[in-house]
Amino acid sequence: MINRRFTLREKILLLVCAVILLGIFYYKFVYVDAIEASRTYSVEDLDLELQTAQAKVAKMQQMQAEIDSGESQLNGTVATYNNLENEIAELNRILASADTFNLDFADATLTGDTVRRDISVSFHTGSYASMKNILLSLKNCQYRSLIKDVDVSTTSTQSTGINNSGDLNVSLTVTFYETAVNATSTAGLVQTEETSDTGTSSEE
């Protein structure tokens, strides 16, 4: 086994190599990663995302407030059971301006003389103005109804805010109210117990 001391020149070369290797390691695994992280999660981007989220919440609260403002003064005719065909026609008319829409029907329930029919509605539209018009048309439907559980989302990758988005997905539930008074049949209704509800008037 050869045992000798490194010369001063060799020691300097080894030290230089060690410094270079440390520099390469720092640049590749520390500096570059830090730069990439700062690009992805910059303060400006986070602020923009926060502002967009806050704007969405504010718009949703405003829209929900407009819908809720009429809950104590429900409009529309309380039709005699079974008015499903006319209610579907009304929804088709209102949602005709949406790009696409889907309806999902729950079993109608009977409480006293009051019939409630929940219909889950989802639709896609290309603008906030279009969405607002559809929601207000649903609120002012000619048949007695109540809108609830409104949810709006966007798949747009641009942080332009919900009011400027061109890609909106909306889901909600519409409860139609009918009366069993003078109904020729109550077939298909699920009997439930009496509950307090702002839309339970059985007579117009």
Domain boundary among 52, 71, 90: 71
Domain shared by 162 and 184, yes or no: yes
Structure confidence by residue, pLDDT tens digits, 10-28: 777 778 777 787 777 766 6
Q: What is the structure's pLDDT at 60?
A: 63
How many domains does the chain fold into? Answer: 2
The residue segments making up the domain with residue 26 are 9-71
111 within some domain? yes
91: phi > 0 → left, psi -120 to 50 → alpha, else beta; which? alpha
Q: Which of 43, 71, 99 is the last residue of a domain?
A: 71
The answer to whether residues 94 and 46 belong to one domain is no
Q: What is the pLDDT of residues 89-118, one digit of tens each?
A: 999 999 999 999 999 999 999 999 999 999
The model's pLDDT over 48-69, given as tens digits with 9 standing for 90+, comes to 556 666 666 666 666 666 555 5
Average per-residue pLDDT in the chain?
A: 78
197: in domain: no
Residues 53, 144 within the same domain:
no
